[in-house]
Chain A
């Protein structure tokens, strides 16, 4: 695409030059821009243009109000329970402090919520439900080993609160009256330990000495049931050779715990052979 020099932001153009100019004038992109109907390159180009064009900023603002109404018109009611699950997850996420210099309107920060914060579990024949994922922190291993929730969490204090908020869930499983423990070797190296409560239909998963993976890959935990695999979360990066602990709840009859190597962003279904398959005797 011809970059050319920036034409004035005005909309009036000499007849006959419209086509050529419109290709070079980033301003015509404003509609597509506010609807995210642009490539990354277009967006960058327009952002640059926007920074120095107050008229355009005002226009973007107004058109965004219009698109917000498009969104409102498409509203559907969230499933019952989503709100409280979201509240729970929020309680585990540290809020950013304000900035002193303002950030641009609608600026999207690249941030994925903690796959660690939410785990989707499907009960047999039931609509799936999200449960707050209890990954993390540590039980025996000390708060310092608390898992960082991706880049979302900054600083020791957030890890600390995360650990405190979740360790009780781990403690609940560990202290269940029917707790059982299983260990198994992981095919690619290392070992896995599962501490489980049938009564609570929950387990705590930890692994030791798993081979390190390249940054683009991660270990993903699954519940393999008669209805197929359900993702149970990504194993956080190991600390001092220990991965987890993760709490997985919502176990169903016939479930096995499985581990695979997946792209770091996670998969909906296993894309590689399991390196661990552990029957739970449920």
Chain B
């Protein structure tokens, strides 16, 4: 069961599991000048039993349960794809990485240790690391540019769906509770895949300061989100 929408002001409402119920907002990208205003076409979630715990699903996946894997996909593919896309940009390569991550979940589900964190954290850690690894490999950089160039043409014709979830709202609110430097340090690292040195360079701030801001920014985010 998911907690109801928290009161609009608070961002400290504890919601310890990753939200799995999304409302999809279709952002139709019909041309370069198309306004980004979302057209709301709420659709039911993409399947997957509401409230099913990702960790439980992963445990079933470990036993070769394909239905459970389908459930994991429904819960995790959106966040994985969105995060990877932010880092890699190239839509096709992002899909590839998303599939790689999900297949790695399939392959290594038996190695998932619930005591070491939630299923969502496990999967997103895999996803982020993989995206970052790819973005930092030189070969891949060239490959990505090429693909992006090729992909850009027809990509704009494809409607893209953005998931709006409870997480989305709460995270957005919590991010605004960070200092500007904390927020920049966290978002440049997490959503762009930059190293702390790159972030320091980009912001013209000492490396030591950036490391610290990344840490205390995340701590504040964690506390605001009420995750432990």
Give chain A's interface residues, CB within 8 Å of chain B: 19, 22-23, 28-32, 34-39, 61-79, 82-83, 85-87, 89-91, 93-99, 102-109, 111-113, 117-118, 120, 125-128, 130, 152, 228, 263, 265, 267-269
Closest CB of chain B to A126's CB: distance in Å? 7
Given A28-B212, A35-B214, A90-B69, also A95-B107 (CB < 8 A): yes
Q: Do B218 and A31 have beta carbons less than 8 Å apart?
A: yes
Q: Do B208 and A105 have beta carbons less than 8 Å apart?
A: no
Closest CB of chain A to B48's CB: distance in Å? 10
Tell me whether B49 is interfacial, beta carbon within 8 Å. Answer: no
Partner of A79, one of B74, B95, B120, B124: B95
Contact residues in B for A63 (Cβ distance below 8 Å): 215, 218-219, 222
Contact residues in A for B143 (Cβ distance below 8 Å): 267-268
Q: A90-B103, A99-B111 are in contact. List 16 more A-B contacts (CB 8 A).
A: A31-B212, A32-B210, A35-B186, A63-B218, A65-B16, A66-B227, A72-B79, A75-B81, A75-B82, A75-B165, A76-B78, A83-B73, A107-B111, A108-B133, A117-B103, A127-B157
CB-CB nearest in chain A for B85: A76
Give chain B's interface residues, CB within 8 Å of chain A: 16, 18-19, 22, 24, 46, 62, 64, 66, 69-70, 73-74, 77-83, 85-86, 92, 95-96, 98-100, 102-104, 106-111, 113, 116-118, 120-130, 132-133, 139, 143-144, 146-147, 150-151, 154-155, 157-158, 160-163, 165, 167-168, 170-172, 185-186, 189-191, 193-199, 208, 210-219, 221-222, 225, 227-228
Contact residues in B for A95 (Cβ distance below 8 Å): 62, 64, 106-110
Closest CB of chain B to A240's CB: distance in Å? 29
* Cα–Cα, bound, A268→B151 (Å): 11
Q: Do A93 and B103 have beta carbons less than 8 Å apart?
A: yes
Q: Do B214 and A37 have beta carbons less than 8 Å apart?
A: yes
Return the 9 tightest CB-CB contacts between A and B, nearest first: A105-B116, A31-B215, A31-B214, A77-B161, A75-B78, A73-B171, A75-B163, A74-B82, A65-B227
* Cα–Cα, bound, A267→B147 (Å): 10
Partner of B121, one of A37, A68, A87: A68
Q: Do B62 and A98 have beta carbons less than 8 Å apart?
A: yes
Q: Do B165 and A73 have beta carbons less than 8 Å apart?
A: yes
* Cα–Cα, bound, A97→B225 (Å): 34
Q: Do B78 and A78 have beta carbons less than 8 Å apart?
A: yes
* Cα–Cα, bound, A37→B120 (Å): 20
Contact residues in B for A152 (Cβ distance below 8 Å): 107
Given A65-B121, A105-B113, also A120-B96 (CB < 8 A): yes
* Cα–Cα, bound, A62→B225 (Å): 11
Given A63-B222, A86-B103, also A71-B95 (CB < 8 A): no
Given A90-B66, A120-B92, also A69-B167 (CB < 8 A): yes
29 A-B contacts, Cβ less than 8 Å apart? A23-B208, A29-B196, A31-B211, A35-B128, A36-B193, A65-B117, A65-B227, A66-B221, A67-B124, A68-B18, A72-B165, A74-B191, A76-B161, A77-B81, A78-B81, A79-B158, A87-B73, A89-B103, A95-B107, A95-B110, A103-B113, A108-B126, A111-B104, A128-B151, A130-B95, A130-B96, A152-B107, A228-B150, A268-B147
